[in-house]
Structure 1
């Protein structure tokens, strides 16, 4: 009987444990992606019994010349920029506040992270009650602006509904990225911070000259991951439109993909938009990987 070394045995058992995850990835991730790309070259209608017709790049040409698609691109860009910038800034600020506090650190982490464990639908329903004309949002804004009784149309006005969806997303996910910043700050050696204090640096100088530069890899990662997540946002916009909100201001690409496939029954054009979104996300992922390699920090 051939003798197997301990390393080969470990490698064999490693494949045994990893194989279920690989099989699930191939079945439920890789195959649907390849199938979606394949479907873009055919004219496939949902619920149609006709044999799909090969149309080449006709679906891509139609989508790229569609005003609805470019409106979705505009809505997605506005939502992404409006959400990921506050997400990055607030999560960094909260992370620094948490790490500098002596008392109540765990309680603050729990309070900030709590919305992240809610489902997106539940979060949207909570905020729809807040954005109701008689809800807390109007009351708070009217109290601050001293305009009692004014309805600010959170769910009907073009600008306000964009602000509403961005607010919900930031509120829900800021705790998740705060924990990442807390971890990044905790990795900074205490000796580096003590050296800055001994050299006479103030708290603001320590943050600006020491902590922020050393947090650059974490900041890059959080900003790119937040941007990717914003590009995939769907449930809040879908729920708002189902409750009567105007579609055009919040018709992000994911919502357009859903409506094209399920409402218009055109699977091929929905797959085209999915492929285009996938390409954009891949480009952003490559940028993140390259940025991470260039921003390796040595203490």
Structure 2
């Protein structure tokens, strides 16, 4: 028995060593490109430094953070980020689930619908924003379509001018681009649910609506959590759409999200320390909401038995 235990421990030790060998490249990659930038950003946030100055940075401790917490500009960025995230996150999760259920219910053209919904996700955010700048132009398709519905020819709805419309426009662009991506993730989750469960439900007299809410939806809880976390992070770190809209003449204030404020603070104002402090705060916000969603959902592996 003692000999068997020694042999077993030896095998387990070899497995652990080989496991570390295979994991080491990934750990090195994440340490170099993820952990180090985060640590370096936190270190930089403790100094007052001009991006183009040759003077050595001045250590100021947490003064950058205390300044941001009392800065109206930063709190406006927090407000703009919150409005954009709430306006985009909820429709993304809800409609991607609805679209996935619709596609899965089709007996024909499933592949076509998947490609049609997913195609905007292939585009880069810059290209997507550029396309929508043409659509939202005063002479573009957006005004023509709305005026056709409302029978109001020639009216400019100021998609990129008024506060409410420019916020709605950024939400619209982001929703259009990413809803297909999350729809495909939901489809993958729904496809993993055994068909036998739905067949048993039909035998028991359940209709399609009851089968979805009583069987499919509870069993794709891990997929829903994944979509929620990824969609939340995507919304919080949005940048390119707001940047291109501002560069095209849209007012900055209503869509001055934290990432856009970081860009202007670092590149235009050359205050790299303050921009790093904003980056750390944004990272903390992402970390908190990710933890909160995991805590609330308490998601575990789903068993079909």
Q: TM-score if structure 2 supplies the norm length?
A: 0.91
2:264 to 241, 259, 268: 259
Counterpart position of 1:220: 225
* 1:134-153 deviation digits (Å, cap 9, x = unpaired): 11101111111111111000
RMSD: 2.0
Any idea what SS the aligned residue of 2:251 has? coil
Q: Unpaired segments of 5 or more residues in structure 2?
A: 1-9
Deviation at 1:14, TM superposition (A): 5.0
1:209 to 184, 206, 214: 214
Indicate yes or no: 2:42 matched with 1:42: no
Counterpart position of 1:231: 236
Indicate yes or no: 2:83 matched with 1:104: no
Indicate yes or no: 2:188 matched with 1:190: no
* 1:218-273 deviation digits (Å, cap 9, x = unpaired): 22321222011100000000111111111001000000011100011101111111
Indicate yes or no: 2:162 matched with 1:157: yes
Indicate yes or no: 2:278 matched with 1:276: no
Indicate yes or no: 2:58 matched with 1:58: no
1:44-193 equivalences under 5 Å are 44-193=49-198
1:285 to 266, 286, 290: 290
Any idea what SS the aligned residue of 2:157 has? coil
Which runs of at least 4 in structure 1 moved beyond 6 Å after TM superposition? 5-10
Any idea what SS the aligned residue of 1:174 has? helix
User: Would you say the 8 A contact 2:225–2:299 is kept in 1?
Assistant: no
Counterpart position of 1:30: 35
Any idea what SS the aligned residue of 1:286 has? helix
Counterpart position of 1:248: 253
For the residues of structure 1 that align with 2:119 and 2:184, how far apart are their CA atoms? 11
User: Would you say the 8 A contact 2:128–2:177 is kept in 1?
Assistant: yes
2:25 to 15, 20, 38: 20
Q: TM-score if structure 1 supplies the norm length?
A: 0.93
How many pairs are equivalent?
297
User: Would you say the 8 A contact 2:225–2:294 is kept in 1?
Assistant: no
